[in-house]
Amino acid sequence: MAMCDKRNQLITQAVLDKLGSGTGIYTSDDILTAANIKEENLKELLGGILLQLYKFIEQKIKIIFYNVNFLIISNFIPFKMCKK
């Protein structure tokens, strides 16, 4: 069965399921077929997801370090000023 035919069949099945009991079970292969994602594209897709995750984590780490540095500096400046 061609990819397009299988995709159309899955979409039709999902529509009928939604109009019916709504209890259909779909595998990851079903979802990937409906999304037109082929097996060979999965590594590229994973690489993109990992890159986005890395950038997100990097941004959060920068925010944490900024906040920690701010707290350290703001706590020590008054202490140094009082020692004079």
* Better-predicted residue by pLDDT, 61 or 35: 61
As a whole number of angstroms, the distance between CA 35 and CA 19 comes to 21
Instruction: Give the global pTM.
Output: 0.45
pLDDT exceeds cutoff 70 at 77? no
As a whole number of angstroms, the distance between CA 33 and CA 3 comes to 7
Cβ-Cβ contacts under 8 Å for 64 (sequence gap 6 or more): none
The band of 1, judged by pLDDT with boundaries at 50, 70 and 90, is low
Query: Quick one: DSSP state of residue 61?
Result: H
pLDDT exceeds cutoff 80 at 56? yes
Query: HSE of 14 in the Cβ direction (CA atoms, 13 Å)?
Result: 13
* Better-predicted residue by pLDDT, 77 or 37: 37
For residues 67-84, average pLDDT: 64
